[in-house]
């Protein structure tokens, strides 16, 4: 990654980092600008998103019925390794800000700290041995959805699949902006549903027999956030009720907004299609007249060429006659 970045861009980023350090009032630590550049790069964010998705999959599988103890043990080891990477990522971002304490209390750092806190506390508090909050990192993954715009998505695909450059370009010529907006909206809503399900499960599964696996919590989250409310599942603990209440309020704000974005993108695509059709209809007579003019011009050229060919043949005959008379006179 370091060698793939042009030198001029690295220098420009380092200068911006130093100016940012002066503005925020912290002293850059050794290697801080390099760590910050790596963590803020697109490939690093995509890799972090894939790791978060992998950890969320482990969380869902480990909290499902019918999983063998050996499989659970292996997944727990893999999950612990991912937790170590998340801790290093947290410390790296803090180091890149000069170990500034005020930076720890920013919303992104607070969510990251809460997500790794159970992993750090399990060595000192046994009650945290079965608690996992890594799914909260899905909030940071939301930054990745900025790549789901036509130009940014194409550049990211070129980086990930450099050997298929021409094929990627041909493919993304057919991807419309409204399709990327649908993907972004689905990602945001999935994040909300998954985090709600994870928090409800962690709050309820020890005391509420209705939430014995993660998929029951996932089902309940979809029903609750969609305001359908069948009533077959209900939280019993205070923490579970608080989580559901806050999630429903957040969902009532986010879901209509995301739906309006999809509707606006579809309407813009329809408007663009209508304009192209109108332009094509208006340009039809003009193209027909232009084609007729071209055919007429080609006919004139063909007649001119035929006349020129006949004239050349006539001149060649005169030249042969003149040479024959000159030869007979000699």
* pLDDT tens, N- to C-terminus, the chain (330 residues): 444 556 767 778 788 888 888 888 888 888 888 888 888 877 787 788 888 889 889 888 888 888 888 988 898 899 889 889 989 999 999 999 889 888 888 888 888 888 888 888 887 777 767 777 778 878 777 777 766 665 666 665 565 555 455 565 566 556 777 888 888 888 889 989 999 999 999 888 888 888 888 899 999 999 988 888 777 888 889 998 999 999 999 988 888 888 898 888 888 888 888 887 776 665 556 566 677 778 888 888 888 888 888 888 888 888 877 777 777 655
What is the 3-class SS of 93-122, one letter each residue? HHHHCCCCHHHHCCHHHHHHHHHHHHHHHC
Instruction: Please provide the DSSP assignment of 153-211 as one string.
Output: HHHHHHHH-GGGHHHHHHHHTS--HHHHHHHHHHHHHHHHHHHHHHHHHHHHTTT-GGG
CA-nearest of 262, 269, 260, 136 to 192 is 136
> Rounded distance, CA 298 to CA 285, Å?
20
CA angle 250, 254, 259 (to 5 degrees): 150
The structure's pTM equals: 0.71
């Amino acid at each position: 990654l370091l060698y793939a970045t042009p030198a001029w861009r690295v220098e420009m980023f380092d200068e911006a980092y130093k100016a940012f350090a002066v503005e925020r009032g912290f002293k850059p630590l050794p290697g801080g600008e390099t760590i910050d550049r790596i963590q803020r790069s697109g490939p690093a964010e995509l890799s972090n998103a894939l790791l978060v998705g992998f950890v969320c999959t482990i969380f869902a599988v480990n909290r499902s019925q019918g999983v063998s103890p050996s499989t659970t043990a292996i997944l727990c080891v893999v999950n612990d390794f991912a937790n170590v990477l998340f801790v290093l990522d947290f410390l790296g971002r803090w180091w890149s800000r000069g170990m500034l304490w005020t930076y720890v209390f920013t919303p992104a750092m607070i969510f990251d700290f809460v997500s790794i806190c159970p992993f750090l506390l399990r060595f000192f508090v046994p009650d945290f041995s079965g608690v996992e909050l890594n799914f909260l990192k899905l909030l940071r993954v939301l930054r990745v959805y900025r790549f789901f715009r036509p130009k940014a998505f194409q550049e990211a695909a070129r980086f990930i699949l450099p050997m298929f450059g021409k094929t990627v370009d041909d493919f993304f010529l057919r991807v419309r902006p409204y399709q990327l907006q649908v993907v972004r909206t689905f990602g945001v809503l999935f994040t909300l549903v998954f985090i709600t399900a994870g928090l409800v499960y962690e709050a309820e599964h020890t005391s509420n027999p209705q939430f014995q696996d993660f998929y029951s919590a996932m089902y309940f989250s979809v029903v609750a956030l969609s305001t359908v409310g069948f009533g077959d599942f209900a939280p019993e603990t205070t923490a579970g009720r608080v989580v559901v209440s806050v999630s429903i309020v957040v969902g009532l704000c986010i879901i209509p907004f995301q739906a309006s974005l999809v509707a606006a993108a579809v309407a813009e695509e329809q408007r663009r299609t209508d304009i192209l059709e109108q332009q094509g209809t208006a340009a039809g007579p003009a193209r027909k007249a232009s084609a007729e003019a071209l055919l007429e011009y080609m006919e004139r050229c063909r007649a001119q060429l035929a006349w020129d060919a006949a004239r050349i043949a006539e001149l060649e005959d005169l030249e042969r006659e003149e040479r024959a008379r000159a030869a007979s006179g000699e």
